[in-house]
Chain A
Amino acid sequence: MERISRREFLKISAGFAVSLALPLKLSAEEKHKISGPLIGVARGEKNKLVKAAVDAIGGMDKFIKPGDRVLIKPNISFSANAECGATTSSEVIKQVVELCLDAGASKITIIDYPLANPDLCIERSGVRQAIVDKNRVNLLMLSKERQFVEIEVPDGKELKTVKIARELQKADKFINLPTAKSHSATGVSLGIKNLMGLIWDRSYLHRVDLHRAIAELGLIMKPDLTIVDATRVLTSGGPGGPGKTVILNTVIAGADMVAVDSYTVGISSWYNKSFTGKNVKYILYASELGLGEIDTEKMVIKEVKV
C-alpha cells in the first residue's frame, strides 16, 4: 500500500470536503429558489408602489412581451367614492397601464362588468385617468350577454359551464388587479374573487356553493400576473361600503394568484379580527384545487420600501 504524505492527505480530504459540501450548498440554493412562488410587496409612496412591487418579482418585462395585447381587470364595479376602498384606485390602475406600455404592450384593455351604473362607476373610480394613451389604451364596461362566451369548466364540481368575457380569449396577457376589501359573504374580496367580474351570470354562483364556485373560476381564468391594490383597505362594510377604511399604502404582486391572496389576508385585520389565507374558504378551496400555494411559509416574499 502506497503511503501518502500529510500534505497530500490534507489536499485530498479538503477536496473531498469541498466536493461534498458544494453540491449540498448548491442544492440548498436551488431548492430555495423553486420552493415557493415569488411575492413582491411594496410599501410607501403611492406613486411608486406598483413598479417597486413588480420589479421585486422580476419586472414587467418578465410578464409582458413587446406587441402583447393586455387585458387588465380592476375592480371598478361599485359607484362608491374612490376613497372608500370598494374599488381599485385609479392611481394604481394608471401605474399598471404605464408599466405595460413601457414593456411594449400593443393594446391595453381595462375591463369590468360593473354591478352599479357603469357611467357612475367610471366617474367615481376616476378610471379615465388611467387612459394615458388613447390609441393604445381603452376602457370596456361589459353590459351585454353577447360580450360573453360559454366555456366548459374542466373538473368543475359546482360549475359545469361558465360564460366568460370574450375579451379574455382575445388577449395575450391577463393582469388581475383587485382591490383588497372585506366582503360580507366571502370574508375578503381579493384576486380570485375579482374574477367573478368577468362572468355573465354571477347570481348563479350564489345559488350553488359560493366559495367552491369562486375557487373553480380559477380553473378557467388564469391571470399572468395578480397585483393587489392595498393602498387603502376597506376592512368592514365590504364589498360596497361604506365601512372602516384603513390606509396601508401597500401593493402586492405575484404570478401565483392564490399565494398573493393568501399573503394579502395577513396584512390587515378584517372585521376587527386577524385571519390567514387558510381561514378564507375560497382561497383554501382554490389551493386544494392545486391552483397555487396558500402557505406563506413556503413563499419567497420580497418586501421593498419606497
Chain B
Amino acid sequence: MDPLILLIVSISNHLLLNSYLYSLVLIFSTLLFGRFFCGFICPLGTVIDLTELAGKLPSLKFRPELKNFKYLILLFLIISAILGVSFIYYFDPIVIFERSLLLIVFPVITFFFGFFTAEPSFAYVESLFAIIFLAIIIGLNFLTRRFWCQNICPLGGLFAFLSKFSLFRFVFDNKCKKCALCEKVCPTDAIDSKSERVDSSECILCLRCNYECPENIIRYKSKFLRPKFDIKRRELLLTTGSAMILAPLLRSTYHQRLEGRLIRPPGSIPEAEFLNRCLHCGRCMKICPTNGLQPCIFESGITGMWTPRLIPRIGACEKNCNMCGKVCPTSAIRNLSLEEKSYVKIGTAIIDRVRCIAWEQNKTCLICDEACQYNAINMVNETIQGVTLGRPYVDERICTGCGMCEYRCPVEGESAIRVYAIGEERRASGSYITEEKKKLRSCEEKEEDIPSGFIIE
C-alpha cells in the first residue's frame, strides 16, 4: 500500500510492480482528502507521536526551515532510481517501521517468550544500527514536533505534493480572533493564524486545531486553492547533482565477489536486480524458522545494508520451507513451490579438511552426512596413517548449499564444513528444476562403504 515503493522500485527495475498497484488508491484519496495517511495510518508517525507521551522536553528555540527538504529527498530517490540504484530503505517510513520491529522489538519479545516456554528465541547480528537509526528519527522530534514527517520523510513529501491539489482541506471559515491556540497545537506547523491560512501540504488532518479553536472556525471543507511552490532552482540542481554522484559511488557492484560467503535466500533474483528490488524490510528474516537469514551489515555495501543473507552457522535453510519467498513484498525472493525451492542451489559446502575431525584427528564423525537434507555427503573409507575410517566428501552436484552441515558441525567455533556462494543459481524467471538434477537426486541406493562402527573379522 506504499506508493513510494511502487514509484521507486518500478523506476529502478524498469517494470511495473503489480503487487503495489493498490497504493494508487492512496494517491487518489490523498488528491481528494489531503495527507490523512500521515496523521491516521503511518505507523512510524504513530511511534513518533507516542514518544510525546514520555513527557515533553523543552522544545529548542532553533527551528530550521527545512520543509522543502522532503521534496528534495524524494527527487534524490527518483533520480538515483532512474540511474538504477535504490536508496528507498533508508527513507521509507513503512520500511523503517517494519525493520525496527524486526531488529529491535522481535528479538526482545521472543527472548522473554522463550524464557518462559520452550519456544525458540530469535536474535540478529545487527540491531545496533537499527536502534541508532530509529533513535535519530525519534530524537529529531525534540527539535520540532514531527520533525521527520515535516522535513525528511519522502513518502510524506509525495503526499504533501499531492495535497497541494487536494479537494478537501482545513480552512478558516470565519473571522479569526487571533488567539493562536491552533498554531500552538498543530504538530506540523501548518497553520499561520495571522494570514488565516492552513498549509494543506503540511496539514496531516490530526484535527487538533478543530478541537481547540474556541470559536470553532477551523473547518474541513471542500475548497480548491492554487498550489504554491517555492523550491529554488539551485536546490533542485544541487539534489540532482548529488544523486548523480552518490548513486554510482554507493552502489554495491562487486561485494558478492569479495564476500564469498554472502549467500542470498533461495530464489533470490540476480544480485544487481535483487539490490534494487529488495526493500530491506526484513520480513524474510522474521519468518525464517531457523533464524538463519540475517541482515547484512557492510558485507554487501552501503546499498546492501540490512539485505538478507544466510548465515548457516546460526541457522540453515530448511528443505521444507519456502516462507522467505512467500512473504517477500517485491518478489526480490521469488515465490517458489516447496519442490522447486528444494532444487535451488544457493551455494556449495566445502570441507576444511584441516579442521575436520574425521580427516585430521581420526575421529568417528558423520554429523555432516547425518545432517544433510539432500544426501549430498558421502562417507568414504580412507586410510590415513594406518587408520581406516569413514571421511566425508561433498557431492557438489547434489549439494544445494542449505548449510545444515555447517550448522551442525561439532567442531568448536568456525565450522569445518562451510557453505560458499559457489555455483549459486539466480534466476529472474524460469524453473530451477532440471532433469539432470532430478536424476542425480533419485539415485537413492548408492553403494555405501561399511561404517567403521563394525568390527570386520
Give A residues with C-beta under 8 Å from B: 79, 115, 117, 120, 141-144, 147, 182-188, 203-204, 206-211, 236-237, 239-240, 242-244, 270-271, 273, 275, 278-282, 284
Contacts and interface: CB of A to CB of B under 8 A. Distances in A.
Interface stretch (B152-160, B194-202, B368-376): B368-376
B453 A237 contact: no
30 contacts: A79-B319, A79-B320, A115-B371, A117-B320, A144-B118, A147-B118, A184-B370, A184-B448, A185-B366, A187-B450, A187-B454, A203-B367, A203-B408, A204-B410, A206-B364, A206-B367, A208-B363, A211-B364, A237-B445, A237-B448, A240-B369, A240-B375, A243-B444, A243-B448, A271-B449, A271-B450, A273-B450, A279-B457, A280-B455, A281-B455
- Counting chain B CB atoms within 10 Å of each CB, which of A120, A206, A280 scores highest? A206
Contacts of A236: 445, 448
Contacts of B450: 187, 271, 273
Given A236-B445, A240-B369, 13 more contacts: A115-B408, A185-B379, A185-B390, A186-B364, A188-B453, A206-B363, A206-B410, A207-B357, A239-B370, A242-B375, A271-B450, A271-B451, A279-B457
B365 A275 contact: no
B139 interface: no
A144 to B, nearest CB: 6
B contact face: mostly helix, strand, loop, or mixed: loop
Nearest to A147: B118
Given A184-B370, A185-B379, A117 B454 contact: no
A117 B318 contact: yes
B410 A203 contact: yes
B370 A115 contact: yes
Nearest to B364: A210
A53 to B, nearest CB: 26
A149 to B, nearest CB: 16
Contact of A280 (B357, B372, B453): B453
Interface of B: 114, 118, 120, 289-290, 318-320, 357, 363-367, 369-372, 375, 379, 390, 408-410, 444-446, 448-457
B364 A209 contact: yes
A271 B455 CA distance: 13
Nearest to A244: B445
Contacts of A120: 318, 320
B454 A206 contact: no
Contact of A210 (B320, B363, B372, B375): B363
Contact of A184 (B114, B357, B366): B366
Contacts of B367: 203, 206
A78 to B, nearest CB: 9
Contacts of A273: 450, 454
Contacts of B319: 79
Contacts of A275: 454
Nearest to A265: B454
Nearest to B389: A185
B445 A282 contact: no
A184 B365 CA distance: 9
A199 to B, nearest CB: 13
Contacts of A141: 118
Nearest to A120: B320
Contacts of B457: 279
A273 B449 CA distance: 11
A270 B408 CA distance: 26
A187 B451 contact: yes
Contact of B365 (A115, A210, A271, A280): A210
A204 B365 CA distance: 10
A296 B409 CA distance: 37
B363 A278 contact: no
B404 to A, nearest CB: 9
A207 to B, nearest CB: 6
A68 B290 CA distance: 37
Closest 3 interchain pairs by CB?
A: A203-B410, A187-B453, A186-B453
B118 A185 contact: no
Contacts of B444: 237, 242-243
Contact of A143 (B120, B453, B456): B120
B350 to A, nearest CB: 20
